Chain A
Amino acid sequence: MSYNINEKGYYGEFGGAFIPEMLYPNVEELRQNYLKIMGEPSFQEEFNQLLKDYVGRPSPLYFAKRLSEKYKTKIYLKREDLNHTGAHKVNNTIGQILMAQRLGKKRVIAETGAGQHGVATATVCALMGMECIVYMGEIDIARQAPNVARMKMLGATVVPALSGSRTLKDATNEAIRDWINNPVDTHYIIGSAIGPHPYPDMVTKFQSIISEEIKWQLKEKEGTENPDYVVACIGGGSNAAGTYYHFLENENVGIIAVEAAGKGIHSGESAATSVLGKEGIIHGCKTLLMQTDDGQITEPYSISAGLDYPGVGPLHSHLYKTGRGEFYSATDDEAMQAGLELAKLEGIIPAIETSHALAVFKYKTFKPNDVIVISLSGRGDKDLNNYIEYFNL
Chain B
Amino acid sequence: MNRIQQKLQENKKLLSIYFTAGYPSLHDTVTIIENLEKAGVDMIEIGLPFSDPLADGPTIQASSTQALKNGMTTSLLFEQLKDIRKTVTIPLIAMGYFNPMLQYGVEAFCAKCQEIGIDGLIIPDLPVAIYQEQYQTIFEKYGLINVFLITPQTSNERIRFIDSVSKGFIYMVSSASTTGAKSGFGNEQSSYFERIAAMNLKNPQIVGFGISNKETFEQATQQATGAIIGSAFIRHVTEKGIANLDEFVNPILS
Complex contacts, B155 vs chain A, CB 8 Å: 25
Considering the complex, give the chain B residue whose CB is closest to the CB of A178: B178
Complex contacts, B101 vs chain A, CB 8 Å: 295
Q: A22-B173, A25-B153 are in contact. Are A173 and B103 (CB under 8 A)?
A: no
- Is A49 located at the chain interface by the 8 A CB criterion? no
Complex contacts, B102 vs chain A, CB 8 Å: 279-281, 295
Are B149 and A22 touching (Cβ within 8 A)?
yes
Complex contacts, B98 vs chain A, CB 8 Å: 18, 281
Complex contacts, B158 vs chain A, CB 8 Å: 24
Q: Mark B39-75, 1 if CB is under 8 A from A, else 0.
A: 0000000000011111101100100010010000111
Are A177 and B149 touching (Cβ within 8 A)?
no
Q: Mark A112-131, 1 if CB is under 8 A from B, else 0.
A: 00000000000000000000
Are B73 and A294 touching (Cβ within 8 A)?
yes
Q: List 30 A-B contacts (CB under 8 A).
A: A18-B130, A20-B55, A20-B149, A21-B127, A21-B149, A22-B178, A24-B158, A25-B153, A164-B51, A164-B61, A169-B52, A173-B53, A173-B54, A177-B55, A177-B57, A177-B178, A181-B177, A181-B181, A183-B176, A184-B176, A278-B103, A281-B125, A282-B99, A294-B75, A294-B104, A295-B103, A295-B104, A296-B100, A297-B51, A297-B99
Interface residues of B (CB under 8 A from A): 50-55, 57-58, 61, 65, 68, 73-75, 97-104, 124-127, 130, 148-151, 153-155, 158, 173, 176-178, 181
Complex contacts, B75 vs chain A, CB 8 Å: 294
Complex contacts, A18 vs chain B, CB 8 Å: 98, 125-127, 130
Complex contacts, A291 vs chain B, CB 8 Å: 99, 103
- Is A200 located at the chain interface by the 8 A CB criterion? no
- Complex CA gap A176/B52 in Å reads 11
Q: A21-B127, A278-B103, A297-B52 are in contact. Are A163 and B154 (CB under 8 A)?
A: no
Q: A19-B125, A21-B148, A21-B151 are in contact. Are A280 and B99 (CB under 8 A)?
A: yes
Q: Which of A15-44 contact B (CB under 8 A)?
A: 16-22, 24-25
- Is A60 located at the chain interface by the 8 A CB criterion? no
- Is A389 located at the chain interface by the 8 A CB criterion? no
Are A17 and B178 touching (Cβ within 8 A)?
no
Q: A17-B127, A20-B55, A24-B127 are in contact. Are A295 and B99 (CB under 8 A)?
A: yes
Chain A contact residue count (CB 8 A cutoff)? 35
- Is A180 located at the chain interface by the 8 A CB criterion? yes
CB-based closest 6 A-B pairs: A295-B103, A295-B100, A21-B149, A20-B124, A296-B51, A183-B176
Q: Which of A45-79 contact B (CB under 8 A)?
A: none
- Is A284 located at the chain interface by the 8 A CB criterion? yes
Q: A25-B153, A284-B125, A295-B103 are in contact. Are A164 and B177 (CB under 8 A)?
A: no
- Complex CA gap A294/B71 in Å reads 11
Selected contact of B178 from candidates A16, A181, A297, CB within 8 Å: A181
- Complex CA gap A306/B20 in Å reads 33
- Is A7 located at the chain interface by the 8 A CB criterion? no
Complex contacts, A25 vs chain B, CB 8 Å: 153-155
- Complex CA gap A183/B192 in Å reads 15
Q: Which of A156-196 contact B (CB under 8 A)?
A: 163-164, 169-170, 173, 176-177, 180-184
Considering the complex, give the chain B residue whose CB is closest to the CB of A170: B52
Considering the complex, give the chain B residue whose CB is closest to the CB of A27: B127
Are B181 and A280 touching (Cβ within 8 A)?
no
Are A20 and B103 touching (Cβ within 8 A)?
no
Complex contacts, A293 vs chain B, CB 8 Å: 103
Are A180 and B100 touching (Cβ within 8 A)?
no
Complex contacts, A21 vs chain B, CB 8 Å: 124, 127, 148-151, 154, 173
- Complex CA gap A279/B102 in Å reads 9
Complex contacts, A295 vs chain B, CB 8 Å: 50, 74, 99-104
Are A164 and B65 touching (Cβ within 8 A)?
yes
Are A180 and B124 touching (Cβ within 8 A)?
no
Q: What's the minimum C-beta distance from A113 to chain B, rounded to whole angstroms?
A: 15
Complex contacts, A183 vs chain B, CB 8 Å: 151, 153, 176
Further 8 A-B residue pairs, CB within 8 A, beyond A17-B127, A281-B102: A20-B124, A22-B151, A25-B155, A163-B61, A280-B102, A294-B74, A295-B101, A296-B50
Considering the complex, give the chain B residue whose CB is closest to the CB of A289: B99
Q: What's the minimum C-beta distance from A197 to chain B, rounded to whole angstroms?
A: 11
Selected contact of B52 from candidates A20, A173, A278, CB within 8 Å: A173
Q: What's the minimum C-beta distance from B66 to chain A, rounded to whole angstroms?
A: 12
Of B65, B148, B150, B177, most buried by chain A (CB within 10 Å of CB) is B177
Considering the complex, give the chain B residue whose CB is closest to the CB of A21: B149
- Complex CA gap A19/B129 in Å reads 11
Of A21, A169, A284, most buried by chain B (CB within 10 Å of CB) is A21
Q: What's the minimum C-beta distance from B104 to chain A, rounded to whole angstroms?
A: 7
- Complex CA gap A173/B158 in Å reads 26
Q: What's the minimum C-beta distance from B25 to chain A, rounded to whole angstroms?
A: 19
Complex contacts, A280 vs chain B, CB 8 Å: 99, 102-103
- Complex CA gap A164/B74 in Å reads 19
Are B125 and A22 touching (Cβ within 8 A)?
no
Q: What's the minimum C-beta distance from B154 to chain A, rounded to whole angstroms?
A: 7
Complex contacts, A16 vs chain B, CB 8 Å: 130
Selected contact of B127 from candidates A19, A173, A296, CB within 8 Å: A19
Q: What's the minimum C-beta distance from A183 to chain B, rounded to whole angstroms?
A: 4
Considering the complex, give the chain B residue whose CB is closest to the CB of A183: B176
- Complex CA gap A293/B176 in Å reads 33
Considering the complex, give the chain B residue whose CB is closest to the CB of A296: B51
Complex contacts, A282 vs chain B, CB 8 Å: 52, 99
Q: What's the minimum C-beta distance from A29 to chain B, rounded to whole angstroms?
A: 10
Are B125 and A294 touching (Cβ within 8 A)?
no
Are A294 and B149 touching (Cβ within 8 A)?
no
